[in-house]
A = this chain, B = another copy of it.
Amino acid sequence: MTHLINDAAHVVSDYLEGLALANPHLVRLHEAPRFVARADHPGLGSGRAPQVAVISGGGSGHEPLHCGFVGPGMLHAAVPGEVFTSPPPGPITAAIEIADEGRGALCLVKNYTGDVLNFETAIEFLDPDGPAVESVVIADDVAVENSTFTAGRRGVAGTLVVEKVAGAAAQEGRDLAQVAAVARKATQCVASMGMATAAGVNPATGRASFDLHDGEIEIGIGIHGEPGRARIELAGADRIVDALLDPILADLEPSAGEDVLLFVNGMGATPDAELHIAYRRAHARLRDAGIRVTRSLVGSYVTSLNMAGLSLTVARFDDELTALWDAPCHTPALTRIAPLSGTIET
């Protein structure tokens, strides 16, 4: 298969240049060390009030996560590693120092051993008189308790939810402890599980992440193609959705009458129509259980190269999380808006 790249060694740097060229009003690319930060930092003359800086990062190959979520109302900086490789501590330290607006920084870290270690090391490198920093680790994948690259559960598509609500809390002007508390609450309220029908291919190596026989799918797969719970022959979107949703509900235990966000996430090569076919079933299952799906998101946001498949994420949303989810944001990959005049919200 032909990838739309120039040079295997420049996949991430060419991507970042393109992202910055397409979004000069939202992001600034820092090249050495390499990270992406907000264009509206008060130090750049934007005139806005200083905020707690919400920062994330991790291996590339999951775009638009994380760099595509930098902008007003969401992340203040993102640090990309090479494809499926944790960013080293140096750029993380630099991103914290540059993104800090004098109110401290919150690091949101997906639970992979390399990411957790490198963020910890980066924070240790900071000047003791530098910004106050808190970290929250995201581990929303209910598929497996330990995995190829993790002790404990993996962090997957629920990361978007945590980044959105924490970014909104920072945008509102809350302090570091409050923004960190929002992020911790969100991590406790969110659960995800994914599946694949075909592997992604790493453009840098030309290698597929795994092999599946025809008709076989992998249930519980990770966003690097790590093994899940089972490889099975299973046909029919509804049955596949059930196989993902049952473990999520067993873990989250939402009550009848409770509000939730339902997020169907494409893994990179899954058509929009198929994501909505999956949404249809998951929504109906939740509704039949008396759970109120009051917010939705459908799209390919936390991907695994060009893997075919999807993940489901359910988040229990109290009034605070709902309001933070509804707050406007403006990033390269996710823009949310208050309803235009006359729109009926249901």
Interface residues of A (CB under 8 A from B): 1-6, 11-12, 14-19, 21-26, 39-40, 42, 44-48, 60-61, 63-64, 68, 72-73, 171, 197-198, 203, 214-217, 235-238, 240, 262, 268-280, 283-284, 293, 296, 298-300, 303, 305-306, 308-310, 328, 330, 332-333, 335-337, 339-346
Contacts and interface: CB of A to CB of B under 8 A. Distances in A.
B279 A2 contact: no
Contact of A337 (B3, B273, B330): B330
A306 B72 CA distance: 32
B344 A45 contact: yes
A310 B17 contact: no
8 contacts: A4-B270, A16-B276, A19-B276, A21-B284, A26-B343, A45-B344, A48-B342, A335-B336
Number of copies: 2
Contacts of A24: 346
B22 A279 contact: yes
Given A2-B217, A11-B277, 8 more contacts: A3-B197, A19-B276, A46-B343, A171-B340, A306-B308, A328-B337, A330-B339, A335-B336
A21 B286 CA distance: 12
Contact of A328 (B306, B340, B342): B340
